[in-house]
Amino acid sequence: MAQGIAVELTKEARDAAPVETDVRAMGVAIALFFMVGFLTCLNDILIPHLKSIFELSYGEAMLVQFAFFSSYFIFSYPGGKLVDVVGYKRAMVGGLIIMGIGALGFVPAATAASFGVFLAALVVLAAGMTTVQVAANPYVTIVGPPATASSRLNLAQAFNSVGTFIAPFLGAVFILKGARPLAPERLHSMSEAAQQLYRATEASSVRLPYIGMALVLFCLAVGLSAIKLKPRQSTLDQTRDFRPGSHANSLAGPGSIWRSPWLISGAIGIFTYVGAEVSIGSLLVNFMELPTIAGFTESRAATFLMIYWGGAMLGRFVGAAILKRVPTGPVLGVAGLCAFTCVILAVTTHAHLAMYALLAVGCCNSIMFPSIFSLGIQGLGPLTSKGSSLMIASIVGGAIIPLATGRLADRIGLQAAFLIPSLCYVYIAGFGLANKNRKLA
């Protein structure tokens, strides 16, 4: 999941900025945003596949997202320091190379049929992705005129959504279509060597897709490194620093961000939103496999993920139009209530009604991140960048809430475990409605 990080150009940067957008640089940036969205969403395909191969519990399967989003949190500050040292472009090139190495890590993981090696490869992949995201948003602002920086960021984020929309389909075709899961009884009747051979054979389906993605990432790194920017553009301190952990001095003192209840509430909102969205996306394939829901095969269920992520993509366009006319708080509140209702329907009903109710949550999610973010940092003034750091750091909810949901699913069943995301949406709805009388500056 790549979310936009707000940026603000300094006067010196505006004076040095180009008068026209560098089309080559923007093209590479768009491809980069697409790959980030694609690889993030591909975890939703990887989770049910690895769960089947290694006979994982739901809690164990959610370690995929725990490893991925924890890395996002841990490596955000080191990635930002790399940007300080080498600049935006070189940091992105380095991040792309690290991502490529992480993708190649899936080859030994599949060959050894080791879940631990898969998790290690994901950590490396996420570390590179974090570095790329820290640098990518401000990079897009310096490859063209400042007046159109917001437009370029929105365009890049739109292609991120395209990546999340396409990933389930391609993942179903190239990873899940050839899967031949065995019943546990039959698998356990085999010798240990035969079981390991079966796991290696099933895991081999990820090799070619991730090798292909590694090659694409390395090509993007080469293409980006070949693009020449004006010296001043690549060296100026052109943005306020919105990285998690960038402002240690914000933790205390009369101007502390911790003295803003709206910011703290917004950070909790980001935590719960990302956690709920990732929990549902990660478990949707397994949910649709349940005999009481749809009884789909993994590959068929994976194609329906396009509805979930496609709804989020289309909802962003509809939501953008609505938010021009209606205050943010009430819209967020209604979206949270709709998401809660859909999840409760999924928990309390069966068959296709439950399936489509959970898929519809994607559309409700669409406007939540930017709305919560905007309401959280509203009125912070000179503390805005520090507050933004805290909001971005709260994305770690994508590591913790899915793990909690998986653990609960092991105890009370998958369908009932979605009560955790439903409670997240109750909080989001409350936060939105509490802001109904506030107007964004």
Q: Is the pLDDT of residue 141 over 80?
A: no
What would the two tokens of residue 89 be? 């472009």
Number of domains in the chain: 2
What would the two tokens of residue 146 be? 């400042």
Q: What is the SS3 assignment for 356? A: helix
Q: Are residues 297 and 214 in the same domain?
A: no
pLDDT digits (tens, 9 = 90+) for 35-86: 888 998 888 888 888 888 888 899 999 999 999 988 878 887 787 778 778 8
Distances (CA, A) of 205 to 194, 288, 379, 389: 18, 22, 50, 38
The fraction of the chain above a pLDDT of 70, given in percent, is 83
| Run of H or E residues at 43 | helix 23-54
Q: Are residues 333 and 293 in the same domain?
A: yes
Predicted confidence at residue 61, as pLDDT, reads: 92
Mean pLDDT of 279-304: 89
pLDDT digits (tens, 9 = 90+) for 230-279: 544 444 444 444 444 443 444 444 467 777 788 889 889 999 999 999 99
Q: What is the CATH number of the domain that holds 185?
A: 1.20.1250.20
- What is the Cα–Cα distance from 358 to 22, expressed in whole angstroms? 41
Q: Are residues 37 and 185 in the same domain?
A: yes
Q: Are residues 189 and 285 in the same domain?
A: no
Predicted confidence at residue 73, as pLDDT, reads: 81
* Final residue before a domain boundary, out of 219, 242, 265: 242
Q: What one-character-per-residue DSSP string does 156-201 give?
A: HHHHHHHHHHHHHHHHIIIIITT--PPPHHHHHTS-HHHHHHHHHH
pLDDT digits (tens, 9 = 90+) for 163-189: 888 888 888 888 887 667 666 677 677
Bigger pLDDT: 36 vs 100: 100
Answer whether 95's CB lies under 8 Å from 124's CB.
no
Predicted confidence at residue 412, as pLDDT, reads: 94
Residue 23 sits in which domain range?
Answer: 1-242
Predicted confidence at residue 199, as pLDDT, reads: 83
- What is the Cα–Cα distance from 82 to 135, expressed in whole angstroms? 9
Q: Are residues 82 and 9 in the same domain?
A: yes
Q: Are residues 164 and 220 in the same domain?
A: yes
Predicted confidence at residue 243, as pLDDT, reads: 43
Q: Are residues 283 and 322 in the same domain?
A: yes
Mean pLDDT of 10-29: 64
Q: Is 260 exposed, middle or buried (0-12, 13-18, 19+ CB in 10 A)?
A: buried
**Strand ranges for 300-361 from DSSP E:** none
Q: Is the pLDDT of residue 26 over 90?
A: no
C-alpha closest to that of 108 among 23, 18, 200: 200
- What is the Cα–Cα distance from 290 to 373, expressed in whole angstroms? 36
Q: Are residues 290 and 207 in the same domain?
A: no
Q: Is the pLDDT of residue 19 over 70?
A: no
pTM (global) more than 0.85:
no
Question: Could you tell me the pLDDT band of residue 116, with boundaries at 50, 70 and 90?
Answer: very high
* Final residue before a domain boundary, out of 193, 216, 242: 242
Q: Are residues 270 and 235 in the same domain?
A: no
Q: Are residues 404 and 421 in the same domain?
A: yes
Answer whether 216's CB lies under 8 Å from 1's CB.
no
Q: Are residues 234 and 316 in the same domain?
A: no
Answer whether 440's CB lies under 8 Å from 331's CB.
no
* Final residue before a domain boundary, out of 208, 242, 276: 242
Q: Are residues 389 and 278 in the same domain?
A: yes
Q: Is the pLDDT of residue 213 over 80?
A: yes
Q: Is the pLDDT of residue 222 over 80?
A: yes
The fraction of the chain above a pLDDT of 90, given in percent, is 32
- What is the Cα–Cα distance from 317 to 353, expressed in whole angstroms? 26
